[in-house]
Structure 1
Amino acid sequence: MAEYNGGTTEADHLVVLVHGLWGNPEHMGSIAKKLREQYPPDQVYILVAKRNSGSFTYDGVELGGERVCVEIEEELELIKSRGGRINKLSVVGYSLGGLVARYAIGLLHARGVLDDLECMNFTAFASPFLGVRSPLRGWRSQLFNVLGPRTLSISGKQLFGLDKFRDTGKPLIAVLADPKSIFMSGLARFKRRTLYANVTNDRSTPYFTSAIDKTDPFTDLSKIKANYVRGYEPVLLDPENPLVPMTPGPEKEPEGFDLRDFVGRLPTILTLSVVLPLGIVAFLANAVVQTARSSKRVKMHESGLAGIPVERFRVNLWMNEIRQAVEGAYEDLGSAQRQEYLGQSADSDGEETDSSGEQILALERKQTHPDQPTLALAPYQFSAIQALDELGFRKYRVWIHDHGHTHAAIIVRSDKKGFEEGHVVLNHWVKDEFLI
């Protein structure tokens, strides 16, 4: 990683890379390498953020964003002290790093740092713009929704929309997407906003949240035909016309029980029955420890003992005026997830429509389409979709075929067999999407 970090004093374009949850700077190695292969050190200066490494990502988007903001300001001063001058800024976030990057951008905007810079690219790879709480039914999804926010400290509560950010009464996800917030105003300054979203097998950041989409047309890949970006087949889907429905064929007879297949899978089943419970226990035990450590770090940060003067970053969240009251009351996320898809009428699930949140749900029910039904998201998520879409994003859907861990493969997080298709994504970004 060290060989790609930094640049010369002639470079006028600073590119900041922000890793995700449980991550470290090495996770951004392939992105940094692709950038350096395309742009020399005297053209692009690369900064891979490092202060949020490992368990420090438990500490929440706010604290993470403040750390990244400090790193950027310090790097700009360092470059200046060496005789260089940065005129352009690009920010890249991966997974949770996309939210952390958006928070840092808002702070840089509010502090006037962006006034002296030409904001070029904001890019997000598999980032949970709408949080990660599952809108699907079933015990697995419910277990995920219950354990997730309780095992990831502050970051978990924010990702699952169970926090009330500062005095806003809203989840942080909603505040980041509020059109009047510093975060949206800062993001609006970038000439190009791009996202890359996995359409399948992303267990960390599902399609709907990384693509900012209220529907998921990729739930059954056998029923669609993908249209690809020319030269990037069969990975990158055409952003204007990503798919067409397949003509349904004759239904297959259900297969009977295959004894040989069961016997072949028996060793795997037995292994998982022993290893998986032990792994879950170990994970939960570690989560308790890391949550306690995270709480301690946050308390130190809030008291000014962590090396970052908090008062420098506690700016007003709204550019025009501080709101006197939060507009409307958002329903508890759990109650908004009672079904996989929204019904088509307000009477389908018996909910009232006497609050702003309930009115949003009622409107979404009326607009849902049988062929592409609306996911049962929470009101604040629908509001975030509308605001982010109005701001404008160039959306690229990614279909990785060769590996089941697409969340890591999309950025080639490590040199692992099966991640090669991620190079197709990164090549497209540096060659066709990145504004220099």
Structure 2
Amino acid sequence: MEEAERITKDGRQTADHLCVLIHGLWGNPGHLTYLASSLRDKHSAEKLHILVSETNSDTFTYDGIDLGAERVTQEIENYIQDLEKAGSEIRKLSIVGYSLGGLVARYTIGLLYSKGWFERIKPVNFTTFATPHLGVKTPLLGVQYKVFNFLGSRTLSTSGRQLFTVDTFRNTNRPILSVLADPGSIFMLALARFSHRVLYANIINDRSAPYYTTSISATDPYTNLDAISINYLPDYAPNIINPIDPIHLKPPGIQPSFFARLSSSSQSLLTSVPVFALFSVLIPIGSVVFLINSGVQQVRSQKRIRLHEEGKAGVGLGSYRIPLMVENARSAMEGAFENINARQGQQYLPEPASNEDREAEISDGLQQNGHAEEKHHSASRTSSDLERSSSRRSGFPTLALTTQQFEMIRALDEVGFRKYRVHISAVRHTHAAIIVRSQKPSFDEGKMVVRHWLNEEFEI
């Protein structure tokens, strides 16, 4: 009998490994059907228990990362207790988060860590698919992006403010995402305990969570696919990019053919038509409906949050409001988060010295484990230092991120993720396709992503 198998009181074999799946914003358990069924096809009930979280469905995801995580934590604890009553003891834990669910997962593991669960259960796999680890604040300049950042942060209740990093989390005087990435927090200490930390990030057409944030990167080498040659993993081409040798720059002399340029221009024009229609026709109507609905959902969300805070929502609040920093440790980089919004309007676009220099630095900047090179440098470096070091590592222009986002990158890279870049080209809704959120033929490329995860990265 393998180690993962156990015998219940009535003689049945049962698993000692629990995998929890957490959906994203506006999501529900149905979005994870393919992920869960593929996991079950690969590992039987004698090997693995699967819990698809249900407590944050649909508009309940408006209520904030922390509140959502408290619900999920209670759901996990109740599930484990029910298994124990049936004679099944959980010894291993894996957590998978999709989109916003990845941030909820990062908060959840901190709560589990603080409550001592990791002293009795081994954390094994931590995986995120298309998760905005750095938030979703657009790092581009221009009035339209400022409008997007402003409206986005104010139309999704608490979760919106947190995703756009304009919130102040409890008594930390910092956004929740910066607290989640603080090396002295229970969240990062919990993350470091997992044997496998893996993320999957779309390189193009992810309209909900763009590449830079899902891949925890200060650069984006995939903005012009005509300028690069992509190297794929042999058994997973053309969808999973080789994390060790991801891309090569094409020689400057090689230009797309006339017909390729014409096709690209036609596509750009066609994709612009809906945008013009949106501004001229749909916005006056749709925006009113959207804003009215957002207002209604925010009122409902605030009511749920108030009941939760008062302990009237069925969650034992006192069990989850624990110290966020172990032994009150505060990172020295806390001061770098001051006046964050004042930095948002800047772009850092240093030109590499030569094409050869960029070519030599590409693989170094896109290493699969994501570890930063400056591990021993002071955490109190200025944002300019961080921006320059990011540009040097990748050879590509550094995005106009905020100081807090550069600090998040450094901290998360130090704890380490294996990063897999995903190239889905058959559909322009890659955020949904990456986990095959519904059974559409156009989402079939996502099946390759799930197969890679199960075959290469998920340890039972």
- TM-score after normalising by structure 2: 0.84
Judge conservation of contact 2:336–2:403 (CA < 8 Å) in 1. no
Judge conservation of contact 1:316–1:322 (CA < 8 Å) in 2. no
Q: Structure 2 CA distance, aligned partners of 1:336 and 1:266?
A: 33
Q: Structure 1 CA distance, aligned partners of 2:327 and 2:125?
A: 25
Check if 1:63 corresponds to 2:87: no
When residues 267 and 53 of structure 1 are mapped into structure 2, their CA distance, relative to the original with a 3 A threshold, is closer
Match of 2:285 among 252, 267, 278: 278
Q: Structure 2 CA distance, aligned partners of 1:154 and 1:235?
A: 35
SS at the partner of 2:382?
helix
* Residue identity matched to 1:363: D
When residues 183 and 218 of structure 1 are mapped into structure 2, their CA distance, relative to the original with a 3 A threshold, is same
Check if 1:408 corresponds to 2:423: no
Judge conservation of contact 1:93–1:101 (CA < 8 Å) in 2. yes
SS at the partner of 1:10?
strand
Per-residue CA distance 1:162-216 (angstroms, 9 max, x = gap): 1111111111111101111000111111100000000001011110111011111
SS at the partner of 1:231?
helix
Question: Counterpart in 2 of 1:165?
Answer: 169
Q: C-alpha displacement at 1:150, in angstroms?
A: 0.2
SS at the partner of 2:128?
strand
Question: Counterpart in 2 of 1:348?
Answer: none
Q: Structure 1 CA distance, aligned partners of 2:256 and 2:238?
A: 27
Q: Structure 1 CA distance, aligned partners of 2:251 and 2:182?
A: 41
Equivalent positions of 1:17-36 (< 5 A) are 17-36=21-40
Q: C-alpha displacement at 1:141, in angstroms?
A: 1.7
When residues 9 and 294 of structure 1 are mapped into structure 2, their CA distance, relative to the original with a 3 A threshold, is farther
Check if 1:362 corresponds to 2:366: no
SS at the partner of 1:155?
helix
Question: Counterpart in 2 of 1:133?
Answer: 137
When residues 202 and 221 of structure 1 are mapped into structure 2, their CA distance, relative to the original with a 3 A threshold, is same
Per-residue CA distance 1:333-374 (angstroms, 9 max, x = gap): 432221343569xxxxxxxxxxx9995222134433595111
* Residue identity matched to 1:237: I
When residues 223 and 267 of structure 1 are mapped into structure 2, their CA distance, relative to the original with a 3 A threshold, is closer
Match of 1:312 among 319, 330, 338: 319
Check if 1:52 corresponds to 2:56: yes
Match of 1:399 among 418, 423, 428: 423
Judge conservation of contact 1:197–1:210 (CA < 8 Å) in 2. yes
Judge conservation of contact 2:139–2:344 (CA < 8 Å) in 1. yes
Judge conservation of contact 2:137–2:165 (CA < 8 Å) in 1. yes
Per-residue CA distance 1:24-69 (angstroms, 9 max, x = gap): 0000111001101101111111000000000000000000000000
Q: Structure 2 CA distance, aligned partners of 1:233 and 1:324?
A: 42
Q: Structure 1 CA distance, aligned partners of 2:219 and 2:332?
A: 31
SS at the partner of 1:426?
helix
Q: C-alpha displacement at 1:284, in angstroms?
A: 1.4
Range 375-384 or range 70-79, more displaced: 375-384
SS at the partner of 2:110?
helix
Question: Counterpart in 2 of 1:212?
Answer: 216
Judge conservation of contact 1:124–1:196 (CA < 8 Å) in 2. yes
* Residue identity matched to 1:113: W
Q: Structure 1 CA distance, aligned partners of 2:271 and 2:33?
A: 38
Range 377-386 or range 7-16, more displaced: 7-16
Equivalent positions of 1:24-423 (< 5 A) are 24-248=28-252, 249-250=254-255, 273-323=280-330, 327-341=334-348, 359-367=381-389, 368-369=391-392, 371-423=395-447
C-alpha RMSD over aligned residues: 2.8
Q: Structure 1: which 5+ residue stretches go unaligned? A: 1-6, 345-355
Range 163-172 or range 88-97, more displaced: 163-172
* Residue identity matched to 2:439: D
SS at the partner of 2:18?
strand
Q: C-alpha displacement at 1:135, in angstroms?
A: 0.5
Q: C-alpha displacement at 1:140, in angstroms?
A: 2.9
Q: Structure 1 CA distance, aligned partners of 2:91 and 2:50?
A: 14
Q: C-alpha displacement at 1:231, in angstroms?
A: 0.7
Q: Structure 2 CA distance, aligned partners of 1:265 and 1:196?
A: 28
* Residue identity matched to 1:80: E
* Residue identity matched to 1:54: D
When residues 433 and 335 of structure 1 are mapped into structure 2, their CA distance, relative to the original with a 3 A threshold, is same
Q: Structure 2 CA distance, aligned partners of 1:245 and 1:198?
A: 20
* Residue identity matched to 1:152: L
Q: C-alpha displacement at 1:377, in angstroms?
A: 1.0
* Residue identity matched to 2:409: I
Judge conservation of contact 1:9–1:85 (CA < 8 Å) in 2. no
Judge conservation of contact 2:138–2:145 (CA < 8 Å) in 1. yes
- TM-score after normalising by structure 1: 0.89
Judge conservation of contact 2:137–2:163 (CA < 8 Å) in 1. yes
When residues 268 and 128 of structure 1 are mapped into structure 2, their CA distance, relative to the original with a 3 A threshold, is closer
When residues 95 and 264 of structure 1 are mapped into structure 2, their CA distance, relative to the original with a 3 A threshold, is closer
SS at the partner of 1:104?
helix
When residues 273 and 58 of structure 1 are mapped into structure 2, their CA distance, relative to the original with a 3 A threshold, is same
When residues 221 and 262 of structure 1 are mapped into structure 2, their CA distance, relative to the original with a 3 A threshold, is closer
Judge conservation of contact 1:9–1:83 (CA < 8 Å) in 2. no
Judge conservation of contact 2:218–2:398 (CA < 8 Å) in 1. yes
Give percent identity, aligned residues only: 48
Q: C-alpha displacement at 1:78, in angstroms?
A: 0.3
Judge conservation of contact 1:328–1:357 (CA < 8 Å) in 2. no
SS at the partner of 2:206?
coil
